Amino acid sequence: MNFLYLTFLFPAIGFLLLATLRTRLSENLAAVIGVGSIGLSALTTVYVGIDFLNNVEQGGKYVQTLWTWMHVGDFNASFGLHLDGLSLTMLGVITGVGFFIHLFASWYMRGEAGYERFFSYMNLFVASMVLLVLGDNLGLLYLGWEGVGLCSYLLIGFYYSDRANGEAAIKAFTVTRVGDVFMAIGIFIIFQQLGTLDIQQILVLAPQKWSEGDPMVVAASLMLLGGAVGKSAQLPLQTWLADAMAGPTPVSALIHAATMVTAGVYLIARTHTVFELAPDVLLLVGVVGAITLLIAGFSALVQTDIKRVLAYSTMSQIGYMFLALGVGAWDAAIFHLMTHAFFKALLFLSAGAVIIACHHEQNIFKMGGLWKKIPFVYACFLVGGGALAAFPFLTVGFFSKDAILLQAYASGHTNLFWAGLVGAFFTSIYTFRLIFIVFHGEEKTHAHSIHGFSYWLPLGVLLVLSTFVGSFIHQPLEGVLPAFTSATLEESKHFVEILAIATGLIGLAFAFVFFWGERRIAKSISESGLGRLLSPVLRDGCGFDWLYNWLFVKPYLFIAAINRHDAIAKLFDLIPSLAKLGNSAMSVTENGRVRWYATSIALGAVLVLGAVLVLQVTFTH
């Protein structure tokens, strides 16, 4: 376990090598460094993980303090790593899935300009993400938190020559930074109240300092939730994720599906004691998740870009995780986080393969009939899509989503449960819609077949993990997160299971009727009055962009524009103008005419005498 620090050091070194050597590296060497560093990090994780599971008792932890980061008065933040079941799970997902995505990327990005730049950002991202999950205090967590945000910015804007990508990147960074500001304020509140930022101490001190529902703990948890919704693209800060698809596809797989966007879930789980002290806020977490998963599900139904469909499905799946957190199903949330990382990475990487096969075409209506050309990708898409739609028993997604729905039902929050079920129905429809349109029907483009070891190995591994095999992975969360308890858990098990299976299958049937073959019904709906009205709104994310544009962007630009010449500075420029005015007024009097001088002397004398007289009179009285 002493080697724990290597998990972030390897990617950091990889970043430094790639960033400094730059164009001197050949593509192959850059790939070896970029992928190899993550591979070493993943191996370290395996070693540390085995060591941890063998030597630390259940629910235990291992702390490695590297150095004192900041120590001022009674404020002390160390640069320390904290490993427990939760962070080990996250670490495994980040380095494991991360490694396969890197491997895939070494194939996907080949021949692109800035190959080494791409891998330098990716490595920096993994280093930041590892620090985020291992940091033993909120300051260090915040370091990783902002670090991954920066990497996300850099990678969304990777194709710099199109300014639209840069704008998408700025949008992503700014929207998540709004969340970061909330989180920073949450950190300030916690420090002001508890006097420490050490997470384990916070978990101990919080119940001592605060009673349930204390205004300060409500404020603190609300602010943390603000940070979480920003990073995890939940309502109301979800608008950036769809635009973030401007980045290369492996980026979407790693950052905007498998790891970074789940950081909000991790944050809430990490600080669960604080949220449990504010039950209303915890419930709000569930409600936010439920609304997001519904809205995102609707939006996914009408997207035409293959990556945007997946982006909305990501929002929706993270909505499930939030829902699970909200009902206290902590384990289920983290389980879904892990399985989602498997199948969504698989889907995004397969989508990348589809895009390559179709010569960088992303519009699904220009694809079709691809299953014959790229059968392996088709298989990946089937398994990944099946897992996304929670296809019963064969896929890993079924087990995790079923756990969430069951615990939501058993917890008594039936509204959240029904929302989750409706969401599952829509998930099934949009997933199979995507598969039917892309892989079936008539061929519209000439797709070429693809080969390569670094292409099929990552897909193959993720494919296996996305089947029921993935559900055998045991997450060591006992003792770290509170276990879910409910009297009605056992009796409602079959009811929920049957309902969930039925919903998924009905959704599949709907998708078949609407989107198989000619898609007559779907076309007639979209061409009807209601369809014409609704589909553009849904396609653009339900009008949130429009709303925020009017609420924030335009006022901001307006204020900036009206003061673009710095009015206050101009005000001070009046002083020299006044001086010049006085100068010209006075120089009029110096006109060289004797008459004028005589008059002014006389007038001046009268004025002075008069003044003296007035003063005399006032002072003698």
Partner 1 sequence: MTLSALILIPFFGGLLCWLSERLGAGVPRWIALITMSLVLAIGVNLWLTGDYSSVAGTGGLNWQVEEQYSWIPLLGVSIHFGIDGLSLVMVLLTGLLGVVAVGCSWKEINKNVGAFHMNLLWSLAGVLGVFLALDMMLFFFFWEMMLIPVYFLIALWGSSAHNGAVRVKAATKFFIYTQVGGLVMLVGILALVVVNYKATGQITFAYETLLNTHKLMSQELQFILMLCFFIGFAVKLPIVPVHAWLPDAHAEAPTAGSVDLAGILLKTAGYGMLRFTLPFFPDASQEFANTAMLLGVFGIFYGAFLAFVQTDIKRLIAYTSISHMGFVLIGIYSGNLLTLQGLAIQMLAHGLCAGGLFILAGQLYERLGTRDMREMGGLWARFTYLPPLLMFFAAALLGIPGTANFIGEFLILLGAFKVVPVLTIIATASLVLAGVYSLILIHRTLFGQPTSEQKLAELSAREISLVVSLAVILLVIGFYPQPLLNVSVDAMTFIQQTYAPADVSVPLPIGGAASPVAP
Residues of this chain that bind partner 1 (CB under 8 A): 19, 22-23, 67-75, 79, 113-114, 117, 139, 142-143, 145-147, 150, 153-154, 157, 160-163, 165-167, 169-170, 173-174, 177-178, 180-181, 184-185, 187-189, 191-192, 559-561, 563-564, 566, 568-569, 571-573
Q: How far is CA 507 from CA 438, 467, 504, in A?
A: 18, 20, 5
Segment holding 48, helix H or strand E: helix 27-55
- Across 173-183, b (16+ Cβ under 10 Å) vs e yields bebbbbbbebb
Question: Whose Cβ is closer to partner 1: residue 4's or residue 496's?
Answer: 4
Question: Whose Cβ is closer to partner 1: residue 512's or residue 548's?
Answer: 548
Question: Whose Cβ is closer to partner 1: residue 71's or residue 532's?
Answer: 71
Question: Whose Cβ is closer to partner 1: residue 145's or residue 439's?
Answer: 145
What minimum distance in Å lies between the beta carbon of 597 and partner 1?
34
Phi and psi, residue 146, nearest 5°: -75, -35
Cβ atoms < 10 Å from Cβ of 523: 12
Count the alpha carbons within 13 Å of 425 in the hemisphere toward its beta carbon: 14
Question: Whose Cβ is closer to partner 1: residue 555's or residue 604's?
Answer: 555
| Closest to 366 measured CA to CA, from 286, 447, 285 | 447
What minimum distance in Å lies between the beta carbon of 424 and partner 1?
36
CB 252 within 8 A of CB 165: no
What minimum distance in Å lies between the beta carbon of 555 and partner 1?
11
Cβ-in-10-Å burial (0-12, 13-18, 19+) of 311 comes to: buried
What minimum distance in Å lies between the beta carbon of 574 and partner 1?
11
Give 3-state DSSP helix, strand, coil % of the chain, rounded to 5.
75, 5, 20
Cβ atoms < 10 Å from Cβ of 326: 25
The distance of Cα 597 from the centroid of its chain, to the nearest Å, equals 80
Question: Whose Cβ is closer to partner 1: residue 135's or residue 286's?
Answer: 135
Question: Whose Cβ is closer to partner 1: residue 559's or residue 612's?
Answer: 559
What minimum distance in Å lies between the beta carbon of 585 and partner 1?
22
What minimum distance in Å lies between the beta carbon of 12 and partner 1?
10
What minimum distance in Å lies between the beta carbon of 336 and partner 1?
29
Question: Whose Cβ is closer to partner 1: residue 226's or residue 541's?
Answer: 226
What minimum distance in Å lies between the beta carbon of 167 and partner 1?
7
- Across 461-476, b (16+ Cβ under 10 Å) vs e yields bbbebbbbebbeeebb
Q: Tokens 């349930």 map to which residue?
A: 212
76 bridge partner residues: 71
What minimum distance in Å lies between the beta carbon of 440 and partner 1?
39
Q: Helix 115-134 to helix 138-156 angle, to the nearest 10 degrees?
A: 160
Question: Whose Cβ is closer to partner 1: residue 173's or residue 436's?
Answer: 173
**What are the counts of helices (DSSP H) followed by strands (DSSP E) for the chain?**
27, 2
Question: Whose Cβ is closer to partner 1: residue 72's or residue 594's?
Answer: 72
What minimum distance in Å lies between the beta carbon of 227 and partner 1?
12
What minimum distance in Å lies between the beta carbon of 348 and partner 1?
25
What minimum distance in Å lies between the beta carbon of 28 and partner 1?
20
Q: What whole-number distance in Å separates Cα of residue 105 and Cα of residue 345?
A: 12
The distance of Cα 202 from the centroid of its chain, to the nearest Å, equals 25
Question: Whose Cβ is closer to partner 1: residue 487's or residue 560's?
Answer: 560
Question: Whose Cβ is closer to partner 1: residue 2's or residue 161's?
Answer: 161
Q: Tokens 């698809």 map to which residue?
A: 245
Single-letter residue type at 569? A
CB 11 within 8 A of CB 127: yes
Q: Where are the alpha helices (DSSP H) in 440-566?
A: 453-466, 493-515, 520-527, 529-539, 544-548, 554-562
| Closest to 126 measured CA to CA, from 106, 152, 105, 108 | 152
